[in-house]
Amino acid sequence: MLNKINNTVKKIQVPGIRVFANQVVQYKDGINFTIGEPDFSTPESVKRAGIEAIKSNLTGYSHNAGLVELRKSVSDFFRDKYNFYYHPEDEVVITNGASEGIDSLLRTILSVGDEVILPAPIYSGYEPSIELSGAKVVYLDTTETNFIPDPEQLERLINEKTKAVIFNYPSNPTGMTLSKEQMDSIVAVLSKHDIFVISDEIYSENTFESEHISFASYPELRNKLFLVHGVSKSHAMTGWRIGFVLGQDELMKQVLKVHLNNSICASLPSQFAAMEALTNSRVTPEIMNEAYMERRDYVYDRLVGMGFTMSKPSGAFYMFPSIHFLGLTSFDFATQLLEQEHVAVVPGSAFTTHGEGYVRISYANSMENIVEGMNRIERFITK
């Protein structure tokens, strides 16, 4: 019966991010630099809030858009921290992680034949939903512009088929963030066109040194912007599966229909935990960031010392060094490094063809593993 399966589904590849993570477990001394989640535990008070909800039998369905109290916490969080406002009643939907939010959102807006622009290299979680909707991905190559989208190039790619542009800053996989000036010139292009802007800012709380600037803080984008977010990365809550989508009320009504038909609602105990995270545990990301910054500096210095080239990342917990000087494909680099030194990294090609010639190294790992992993990478490349 395999021939009866949807052809687009058959063509979807298992994400390249997972391939090497699955293989490294066979080595007892393996070091895994493919990890896309914080290596911290969920804060104690957040865990307690989830446990209390279960004990109190708060284990049923919630409103389809999520508990109104949680939606209020989400709305307050962005108002307090970033000074923009989305109404908790009708402009916030709580989803099963950012992933479900992205999928529901893309299926809400896309029709067959539409085009979606992705600055690439980029996270691999958008493309399958775009293609399953019958739409087409158009890449905006950022490799010549230090992984920052060039506004003129963006302008050239927009045509009558363009339905949306997706941004993800701080970026997975590059760790790059956008400055105010860079955002201003991108927003100037976006505001001229009737296209949706989807900004996945799931790593916003992991921004180092500078302040994160949200696309949602631009009033001129208010009627076309969807903000995708969640507590997975900010509060080490990947397994709780809580994300959120924010947007203008009339658009969110449409998103809600898709969300409620695929999920009914997000897990209720997890919603209570997320509420605690966003109200009483706002300091958690800062604590994690101190550790991330120390590791980032160490990894950066070591890699540059070995001859890799890259800009120092300013957010998320990834490095995306160029491996061009080694003359290997990113897949061969990752395969040989794994086989010879038992260190797993993600080939850049997992983040679109524009990621070829790079590898992603996640430093969401202990300093001890990082030091040992860097020693092994050094040994590998000097061979």
Considering only residues 62, 232, 289, 330, which one is a binding residue for ligand PLP as defined by CB under 6 A? 232
Considering only residues 128, 243, 269, 321, which one is a binding residue for ligand PLP as defined by CB under 6 A? 243
Considering only residues 43, 230, 313, 347, which one is a binding residue for ligand PLP as defined by CB under 6 A? 230
Contact string (CB under 6 A) for ligand PLP, positions 156-195, x = contact: ------------x---x-----------------------
Cβ 315 vs Cβ 206: under 8 Å: yes
Stretch that binds ligand PLP, among 54-62, 75-83, 95-103, 254-262 (CB under 6 A): 95-103
Q: Does 214 bind ligand PLP (CB under 6 A)?
A: no
Cα–Cα distances in angstroms (integers) from residue 54 to residues 58, 60, 148, 242, in the given order: 6, 10, 44, 16
DSSP annotation of 275 reads H
Number of CB atoms found within 10 A of residue 79's CB: 12
Q: Does 330 bind ligand PLP (CB under 6 A)?
A: no
Q: Residue 58 and residue 62: Cα distance in Å, rounded?
A: 9
We find the least distance from the C-beta atom of residue 138 to ligand PLP, in angstroms, to be 19
Considering only residues 50, 88, 97, 269, which one is a binding residue for ligand PLP as defined by CB under 6 A? 97
We find the least distance from the C-beta atom of residue 57 to ligand PLP, in angstroms, to be 26
CA gyration radius, the chain: 21
We find the least distance from the C-beta atom of residue 331 to ligand PLP, in angstroms, to be 20
Considering only residues 19, 53, 98, 116, which one is a binding residue for ligand PLP as defined by CB under 6 A? 98
Q: Which residues in 26-65 contact ligand PLP (CB under 6 A)?
A: 36
Q: Residue 176 and residue 211: Cα distance in Å, rounded?
A: 13
Q: Residue 202 and residue 160: Cα distance in Å, rounded?
A: 29
Q: Which residues in 5-24 contact ligand PLP (CB under 6 A)?
A: none
Q: Does 352 bind ligand PLP (CB under 6 A)?
A: no
Residue 156, classified by CB atoms within 10 Å of its CB into exposed (0-12), middle (13-18) or buried (19+), is exposed
Taking the least distance from each CB to ligand PLP, the nearer of 123 and 308 is: 123
User: Longest C-alpha distance within the chain, in Å?
Assistant: 60
Taking the least distance from each CB to ligand PLP, the nearer of 207 and 374 is: 207
Q: Does 125 bind ligand PLP (CB under 6 A)?
A: yes
Secondary structure (DSSP) of 212-264: P--GGG-GGGTTTEEEEEESTTTTT-GGG--EEEEE-HHHHHHHHHHHHHHHS
**Residue whose beta carbon is closest to ligand PLP:** 97
We find the least distance from the C-beta atom of residue 232 to ligand PLP, in angstroms, to be 3
Cα–Cα distances in angstroms (integers) from residue 67 to residues 26, 58, 120, 123, in the given order: 42, 11, 35, 29
Cβ 230 vs Cβ 261: under 8 Å: no
Cβ 163 vs Cβ 114: under 8 Å: yes
Q: Does 205 bind ligand PLP (CB under 6 A)?
A: no
Taking the least distance from each CB to ligand PLP, the nearer of 239 and 305 is: 239
Query: Which residues lie near ligand PLP (CB under 6 A)?
Result: 36, 97-99, 123, 125, 168, 172, 200, 202, 230, 232, 238, 243
